[in-house]
Amino acid sequence: MADKGKKSSDVGTSRKFSDVGTSDEEVRTSRATMRKDLEAKIAFLEEREREKEEEYQRREEELQKQLAEKDQTINDLEKEVSTLQTRLYEYEAKQKRILKDVAEMKEGTKRLQEDVVRQNEEENKRRIQEKEEIEKAMRSEMEQRQAQSERLMALQMKKQFDELMASINPPDRMMESKQMTSTPNIGAIKKVKQTPIEDYEEDSTDESDSE
């Protein structure tokens, strides 16, 4: 019985030592596995960190590039605005000159119209005056011609009358008639008293001769 108890105690002790050896190996294996897992996680995290750093750098470069492009765009816009302002100033100055020229042209046109109206009025007055002078001269000339025609007609009538009287009373008979009128007797021809018309004709003849 004692031997059996001793054997059983030995068996228990050997089992205890074998269990301790097994647990240490498992611990070492577990630690190694944990270390590998930890290293893998650290490597993964480092890779993630590196990727994030690269992504950050890439985004920063893109952002810098975008900022540079925006700065260039702003510079271009500022240049364009400056050019537009310059062109606006030039346009305003040109517009002022044009408005000034238009005002001067309007003033010149107004003066020209006034000059034309004044010249037309003066021309109309001159034409009316010339027309009146021409009409006056024509009336005077017509009156002179009418007077000359009347004198000429009077002379012609006197000449015809003298010729008629000469044909009726030849010169010899006219002498006899004069003598008879100077010594009136019965049956002698009386001297006819000259009429005012004949006096006028003689005056007209004298005036024409004097001319």
49: nearest Cα among 38, 41, 61, 59: 41
Lookup result for tokens 């993630």: 48
**Residues 208 and 108 reside in one and the same domain:** no
Q: Using an 8 Å Cβ cutoff, are 206 and 159 in contact?
A: no
pLDDT at 169: 74
What is the arithmetic mean of pLDDT over 195-203? 49
Closest CA to 197 of 134, 149, 133, 150: 150
Residue range(s) defining the domain that contains residue 63: 57-168
Task: Identify the residue with better confidence: 154 or 2.
Answer: 154
- Residue 13 domain flag: no
Question: 191 and 162, same structural domain?
Answer: no
Cβ neighbours of 201 (radius 10 Å): 20
108/152 same-domain check: yes
Select the more confidently predicted residue: 48 or 1. Answer: 48
Looking at residue 202, its pLDDT comes to 52
The SS3 call for residue 118 is: helix
Q: Residue 151 pLDDT > 70, yes or no?
A: yes
pTM score, two decimals? Answer: 0.33
Spell out the residues 6+ positions from residue 169 whose beta carbon is closer than 8 angstroms to its own.
177
